Amino acid sequence: MTSNRKVTANLALSLDGRYNGPGGPGDFGAFAPYVATEVARGHLDRIWENATTAVLGRLNAEGFMGYWPPVAADENADPRDRGYAKWLVDTEKVVFSTTLTAAPWDRTRVVNAPAADVIAELKADGEGEILVNSSPSVIKPLLAADLVDRLYLLICPEIAGGGQRLFDDGLPATKWKLVRQEVGELGEMSLIYDRV
């Protein structure tokens, strides 16, 4: 028997489809003004509401696990940020890494295997959605293997002019249905697409 676990992927993109700027993996200048807006916070609230497994690349895991646990304990934090932080700390995590040998975080399994194989195993067992959050190193091979069921995209109204793109040439042709959209005061858009 196979389970019906959905694989969801969340990522912020520039208008020209980049998830970082021309300065490399740490260049988030085109995204910084938009990640704490009301629309972005609502977007963050939605991505994890049905998820029971968090999937991250190593770099994102290190950043997230350094940033979010203190937010979970901060009674003055925005309740939406705190909700996500608590969920991330408490949920099962799968971190893709070729360098880590042991997980430095609770409830975390480190894997060094093809993303599509690991996600196919996760899909076949358990309940709840599998959220790949802001980790293009994992999202891209899953798109290539046609394993993503839902895309959560925060579109920031800037052209980065360089950097890495989410949608590379050669992906399988797929059709998506827009199931939710919200536009913020700065022109940022929260979009949810389901695989048809």
Please name the residues in contact with 180: beta carbons below 8 A apart, sequence gap of 6 or more: 46, 190, 191, 192
CB 153 within 8 Å of CB 13 = yes
φ, ψ dihedrals at 189, nearest 5°: -125, 130
What is the assigned CATH class of domain 7-195?
A: alpha beta
| pLDDT attached to residue 3 | 66
Q: In whole angstroms, what is the distance from residue 41 CA to residue 47 CA? A: 10
| pLDDT attached to residue 1 | 46
* Strands, sheet with 51-57, edge to edge from the N-terminal-most edge strand: 108-111, 92-96, 51-57, 129-133, 7-14, 150-156, 189-195, 176-183
Q: Render pLDDT for 98-137 as a digit per residue (tens, 0 to 9).
A: 999 889 999 999 999 999 999 999 999 889 999 999 999 9
Exposure b/e, 53-64, CB count within 10 A at least 16 = b: bbbbbbebbbeb
| pLDDT attached to residue 149 | 97
Per domain, the residue ranges of the chain are 7-195
Please name the residues in contact with 25: beta carbons below 8 A apart, sequence gap of 6 or more: 59, 164
Low-confidence ranges of the chain (pLDDT < 50): 1
| pLDDT attached to residue 4 | 79
- pTM to 2 decimals? 0.95
Please name the residues in contact with 124: beta carbons below 8 A apart, sequence gap of 6 or more: 2, 3
Closest-CA residue to 135 (of 195, 65, 81, 59): 59
